[in-house]
Structure 1
């Protein structure tokens, strides 16, 4: 048949239906077959920023593609011999045959149904709040295995039109944020670990306004005297700052450093007896050494100001709270299967133990309060389950502008909103972080923007993992009360 004035798409579809062998056999004048290749990503944009992509030379230049490029790339066969002027092998000459070698297969720890759940839920968050970036990360707290990970904006490696410069980077590994109030979970854990406070210790929260070091510190509500447990539940900046002052600069710094802040997480592949493979150029974040602290640092860093962390650093640190004080090394590659069938597995291992099991249990009991009736994370509650977690609403720092000579300042309109937690609280099946950079709309707090999405992802995950509800209706009525209005923090 002859295609006249056909569109490129129509012609392509037609040619795809015709056997290449038939074309070659018929030897049609003006038509010939040309070999080409294309990497196919069956799930389109799913996990695209972690998987990465290939360049035009078939080289992996980002993500998993780059991490394993040397062993995933197939090697062509080779035939070597001496020949005469006519190209014929010389009699008695040595012939070397090297057969072609297929590339290795990389198996990830990602649980596909959970990845799909997270993709769907995060898409709704992005459509509703239109953040500049959004993230959701889920870890197995006992092994460090990555169960699912989503970031926005995304790209589809099958569609070059979506591969815009701003969509390609793996921002969860490279982009840093002041974490805000989710740091309070780590800071207060340090104070309990060092026996500076108990959950019953009380602090005067100064009715929401307190001056220290010549600067004011405020709470979103005016609180009076609160116990440490209530300081966590209400997310009091003033209470947390006073706890850190009692702990002192040195213990505060050492305690937070024990959570591996200021270090790349090294998420990747950890085979026994072999060199680990990790994502290249992961950010260290910003965690100032003690010698650079000023008078205010001890009151600001514990509430999530004056340091910057990647989403991966945040969830790695929180995994220790969920796992009895033990922080496992995050990894995303489960195993590598070589062409000959040889299989190498990633070996889960402990990365650090920043707090004791006793401290982790005490923190869990306090973090449960956050998702209960009077907590700032009520929207993250899941019916029938106890959820331990923390809201975060960090004002984004606007740097000084040398052109206008304006000084740097914390914006009142731009926030990094987040909710991080684990479920079920006492025997967690997962640790989950949901965060959004500069969400739009009337409500921009961590509880309002991320709590509901956390709850939705957590509920679907618990159902998928077939973990039955744990609270009886009477106990649930006491603990869980979803408000008609969103949390103000």
Structure 2
């Protein structure tokens, strides 16, 4: 007979076991009820997402840059198709979807559940599939992305991959906005994870993507790309980029990068050709940076626009390094330091300031930081803080060295000179619209920040007119309009120095003075036949500006030559 103490121990163990069981039941059925309910649903159901129509991308002049056309996808679920019906079904589907019968039959025998037989088919296929009246086979709406203007603004517009995901340009930056919310279908399965007799059922209705209205003007974009194409063929340059922007609002009327690509045929373009040079290529700006140094000196109160500057008669010695000038200049007024692009004069001006004063203006004008334009992969450029400068750094900056900039960064800085000293944010997107065309997020310009005194900006803009009137930028002249700007010829930086025979030609300018409405930056990368900016970049600026003012109806400057 079992002792009383043993019975007590058995009773205690049973009681503890019962408490554990009850606690676990409470945990599973009450505390974790939703978790296990979701796990049960996951095992019984499978979801199928169908993308809703992707939004369009339209230019300010209402040209369709990116859109979608309706297509269909044919799906099958072999678990619902009897084996003896599969050979005949494969024959019928092969005729409809354009795939070999053997491949389709092999998929039907091999696959275990829902799959797509074919995608990107003509919508008429849907009616033909429905006439088959075959359980386990059906169609779902899909779409194909189209780019009616081909390579026009290709790097800015971007492209999508086979799954419809934005991969570059606006397509990538605004991917979530453009794609909307997918419609969700559910496929029920039994306890053995086999499909039930029910077909796909609607679970959650999706929402179409929103469309973008962008600031690009297709007419202006076309002009810019035509002129860049011409200069590439004439100089055999490696590439080119250009920006046309409103200096007042920051709206980009054109942003071009050549070589370009057709987003519908991006697979035919090597990765090197897919980048947007205007925002991704950071290059030394050469003498286009001299006005930035002059602006810093005037803002610091150490230079007056009417002053004479000692250009040292052919060069200047800094830290035991002799830096040559373009000619034997002596005393020059500030306007001629810019017009003749005197190296010694610009260096003399840079050395009037403390390092912090020059640094403050450079940073305030946006260098060394992104512009936050609505494009992916934007380069910050390279700019070091004064604590990392050498004895040659101020001289290097005066010549546009020891710093790298993108065409868009340079455009933003010159816009501050053109508009009276305000730093604007470059923008590509004016508004988003829903499927009915109603504005969802209307355009709200970012407030500009004052970075230069108004008088400094105005004086500097007037000084830059001399560059076009009788300096290195004569080829940028547009008859009838007062043009201000600056040339810049830079060497291509390489590891530890500069690459022989590799140059970059720049021109940055604006018109019509005294109240500019257009700002244009041109960058020609590694021209072979001729690399001087005065002969390569300035003429491109002049041709672009001359055509654009006509397109946009910009009035000639009153009282000027026509």
TM-score, normalised to structure 1, is 0.82
Residue number among 349, 358, 378 corresponding to 1:243 in the alignment? 349
**CA distance in structure 2 between the aligned counterparts of 1:297 and 1:320, rounded to whole angstroms:** 24
C-alpha distance 446-96 of structure 1, shift in aligned 2 (>3 A): same
Q: Which has the larger displacement, 345-354 or 415-424?
A: 345-354
1:171 maps to 2:268: no
Partner of 1:405: none
Secondary structure of the residue aligned to 2:223 is: helix
Q: Could you tell me how far 1:25 is from its partner in structure 2?
A: 8.9
C-alpha distance 263-76 of structure 1, shift in aligned 2 (>3 A): closer
| 1:296-321 per-position Cα deviation (integer Å, ceiling 9, x unaligned) | 11111122011111111111111100
Q: Is the 8 A contact 2:159 2:264 kept in 1?
A: no
1:398 maps to 2:485: no
Q: Any residues of structure 2 matched to 1:286-325 within 5 Å, and which?
A: 286-325=382-421
C-alpha distance 305-76 of structure 1, shift in aligned 2 (>3 A): closer
| 1:119-164 per-position Cα deviation (integer Å, ceiling 9, x unaligned) | 1111111111121120110111111111111111211112245321
1:389 maps to 2:485: yes
Q: Could you tell me how far 1:37 is from its partner in structure 2?
A: 4.1
What is the alpha-carbon root mean square deviation over aligned residues? 2.7
1:359 maps to 2:447: no
Q: Is the 8 A contact 2:433 2:439 kept in 1?
A: yes
C-alpha distance 18-332 of structure 1, shift in aligned 2 (>3 A): closer
C-alpha distance 66-22 of structure 1, shift in aligned 2 (>3 A): closer
Partner of 2:72: none
The structure with more strand, counted as a fraction of residues: 2
Q: Is the 8 A contact 1:180 1:303 kept in 2?
A: yes
Q: Could you tell me how far 1:429 is from its partner in structure 2?
A: 1.3
**CA distance in structure 2 between the aligned counterparts of 1:377 and 1:426, rounded to whole angstroms:** 18
Partner of 1:371: 468
**CA distance in structure 1 between the aligned counterparts of 2:188 and 2:351, rounded to whole angstroms:** 80
**CA distance in structure 2 between the aligned counterparts of 1:338 and 1:158, rounded to whole angstroms:** 24
Residue number among 348, 369, 381 corresponding to 1:285 in the alignment? 381
Q: Any residues of structure 2 matched to 1:81-160 within 5 Å, and which?
A: 87=197, 98-160=204-266
Residue number among 413, 431, 434 corresponding to 1:338 in the alignment? 434
Q: Is the 8 A contact 1:136 1:433 kept in 2?
A: yes
C-alpha distance 186-201 of structure 1, shift in aligned 2 (>3 A): same
* Higher-Rg member (1/2): 2
**CA distance in structure 2 between the aligned counterparts of 1:349 and 1:160, rounded to whole angstroms:** 33
1:419 maps to 2:507: yes
Partner of 1:439: 527
- Structure 1: any 5+ residue segments left out of the alignment? 1-7, 9-15, 90-94, 269-278, 400-407, 478-489
| 1:151-179 per-position Cα deviation (integer Å, ceiling 9, x unaligned) | 11211112245321111122222221111
**CA distance in structure 2 between the aligned counterparts of 1:104 and 1:59, rounded to whole angstroms:** 15
Partner of 1:205: 311
C-alpha distance 159-464 of structure 1, shift in aligned 2 (>3 A): same
Secondary structure of the residue aligned to 2:144 is: coil
Residue number among 321, 324, 330 corresponding to 1:224 in the alignment? 330
**CA distance in structure 2 between the aligned counterparts of 1:316 and 1:433, rounded to whole angstroms:** 10
**CA distance in structure 1 between the aligned counterparts of 2:123 and 2:494, rounded to whole angstroms:** 59
Q: Is the 8 A contact 1:324 1:357 kept in 2?
A: yes
Q: Is the 8 A contact 1:326 1:355 kept in 2?
A: yes
The structure with more helix, counted as a fraction of residues: 2
Partner of 2:167: 61
**CA distance in structure 2 between the aligned counterparts of 1:311 and 1:186, rounded to whole angstroms:** 15
Count how many residue pairs are aligned between Structure 1 and Structure 2.
432
Partner of 1:402: none
Secondary structure of the residue aligned to 2:230 is: helix
C-alpha distance 57-82 of structure 1, shift in aligned 2 (>3 A): closer
